[in-house]
Amino acid sequence: MTDLTLEERLEEAVKTLKVRGVRMTPQRYAILSYLLETRSHPTADEIYKALADRFPSMSVATVYNNLKLLKEAGLVRELTFGDQASRFDGQMHDHYHVTCIVCGRIDDFEYPPMRFIEKEAERLTGYATAEHRMEVYGICPACRKAQEEAKQMAMVTAKAAGNEH
Which 106-135 residues touch Zn ion, going by CB under 5 A? 108
Q: Residue 33 or 62: which CB sits closer to Zn ion? A: 33
> Does the footprint of Zn ion cover residue 35 (CB under 5 A)?
no
Q: Measuring CA to CA, how many Å separate 105 from each of 67, 78, 99, 139? A: 20, 15, 6, 9
Nearer CB in complex with Zn ion: 57/137: 137
What is the closest distance, in whole angstroms, from the C-beta atom of residue 37 to Zn ion in the complex?
13
For residue 146, state whether it binds Zn ion (rule: CB under 5 A).
no
- Let me know: does 67 contact 78? Beta carbons within 8 Å: yes
- Residue 92 as a binder of Zn ion (CB under 5 A): the answer is no
Residues 2, 61: Cα–Cα separation, whole Å: 30
Binding residue for Zn ion, selected from 52, 100, 118, 146, defined by CB under 5 A = 100
* Closer by beta carbon to Zn ion, 108 or else 118: 108
Sheet holding 106-109, edge to edge: 106-109, 96-100, 135-138
Cα separation values, 70 from 16, 32, 125, 150, Å? 10, 8, 34, 42
Cα gap 47→34, rounded to integer Å: 8
The least CB distance from residue 104 to Zn ion, in Å, is 7
By the criterion CB under 5 A, which residues form the site for Zn ion? 89, 91, 100, 102-103, 105, 108, 140, 143
